[in-house]
Structure 1
Amino acid sequence: MSVIICPGIHEPALTESFISGWSSVDEKTVDILVFPAEGLLALSSLHIFQFLRDRLGNHLETPIIIISFSAGVVGAITAAWQWQLLGGQIKAFIAIDGWGVPLLGNFPIHRMSHDYFTHWSSGLLGKGDNNFYAEPSVDHLTMWRSPQTVQGWWVDPSVEASSKQVRLTAAEFLHSLVKRYEEK
């Protein structure tokens, strides 16, 4: 299984920090491929899809998890649909602060938000499966730069709001999701 990282429009050092902070939760090595987003290319599903084809070639049977951030969510969700139409297997799609982006697909979708308002309002465009929101709220880039420091709630929208919330960090949430899909 491979984890595909689709950053937003920001300094590449933030993505390196994200990977370091997320992987600090577990020493297990995951095959991580980072889309080299430069500026507006983060929005381009065509470039992300081509990146998948270049890196994974004809290994469509290799299951992938896509983790995308901010503007990268825009290009990544469409690239996920394209990859699946080609015959690729999407184990899960994780959108971090993909506010305003409709998320639909016949694969598991998870949203992570830097505050409750973004969590709630993004849900209007597709709640997805288990989600996470930061509490206390953090600024947008902190979710990407330092997921190991962001405290919040794991929320399952299919269960009553008060009965299924777990307190943890954003990095722990990501680790739990990746582990779940590795086992499936």
Structure 2
Amino acid sequence: MNVIICPGMHEIDLTKSFISGLSDFNSDIFSCLSSVKILIYLGNNLKTLSAFHILNFLFEKIEDMKSPIIFIAFSAGVVGGLQAAYLWQFLGGRVKAFIAIDGWGVPLFGNFPIHTISHDYFTHQSLLRMPGGNNNFYAQPAVEHLEIWRSPQSVRGWWVNPNLTTKSTKIYLTVSEFLHMLLKHYEKISPENQLGKGE
């Protein structure tokens, strides 16, 4: 399984901090997964928004288009990343899921599961996403926009899932824990058991 990370328009140090923050959870969030290849797209300025450049990056890095991909995109990277996901799938590739972190203003629709992570409740509520989408997250207390990318291991909030079997439909955890849960889920499932759109 490939995980492609599409940062926003910000200093590269923030993305390094994001990866480091994920590694602070359970020693290394990615080492808990048996067969994950991490790809970090480091396009700068307008290339962050460019599905064409992200698609070229994927063709350079991935040998087998049928190898499943999960996108993790932040801010402006959600724009280019989501368009690249559509195109990759259109060309025969396999998109297992798309995780949009603070992709406010981007219509989050697709025929693959889309999950959202937001820096506050207002952003979580105002996202343009498919109705009935489950398995999303918002920070509580709210944090600054860049903080959710800088420190996923320390930003805490609510995992929102109406299908939870517990009494509550929300569970309190960190961004790192939420991402770990999603990645483990998608590593385990086969295509026929994949969660439905936006779940």
Q: Normalising TM by the smaller chain, what interval?
A: over 0.9
Structure 1 Cα separation of the partners of residues 177 and 125 of structure 2: 21
- Tell me the residue number matched to 1:113: 118
The amino acid across from 2:59 in the alignment is: R
Query: Can you give the 5+ residue segments of structure 2 that lack an aligned partner in the other structure?
Result: 190-199
CA distance in 1, matches of 2:91, 2:22: 30
1:17 aligns with 2:22: no
The equivalent residue for 1:55 is 61
Paired residues of 1:22 and 1:148 also in contact (CA < 8 A): yes
More deviation in 164-173 or 17-26?
17-26
Is residue 100–residue 125 contact of structure 1 (8 Å, CA) maintained in 2?
no
RMSD (Å), alpha carbons? 1.7
| 2:130 paired residue number | 126
Query: Is 1:31 aligned to residue 37 of structure 2?
Result: yes
Distance 1:148 1:139 in 2: 15
Structure 1 residues not aligned, in runs of 5+: none
Instruction: Give the C-alpha shift of residue 67 in structure 1.
Output: 0.1
Contact 1:96 1:113 in 2 (8 A): yes
Percent identity of equivalent pairs: 58
Q: Distance in 2 between matches of 1:23 and 1:95?
A: 20
1-side partners of 2:13 and 2:120: how far apart? 23
- TM-score w.r.t. length of structure 1: 0.93
**Secondary structure of 1:140's match?**
coil
Instruction: Using the TM superposition, name which of 28-37 and 42-51 deviates more.
Output: 28-37
**Partner residue of 1:89?**
94
Distance 2:94 2:24 in 1: 27
Write the distance in 2 (CA, Å) between the matches of 1:56 and 1:116.
36
CA drift of 1:158 comes to 5.9
With over 3 angstroms needed to count, the CA separation of the structure-2 counterparts of 1:157 and 1:82, relative to structure 1, is farther
Secondary structure of the corresponding residue to residue 71 of structure 2: strand
| Deviations 1:53-94 (CA, angstroms, capped at 9, x unpaired) | 11113x012111100000000011110010001111111100
Total equivalences in the alignment: 181
Map of 2:85 onto structure 1? 80
Q: Give distance in 2, aligned partners of 1:157 and 1:52.
A: 34
One-letter amino acid of the structure 1 residue matched with residue 25 of structure 2: V
Structure 1: distance between partners of 2:21 and 2:86: 28
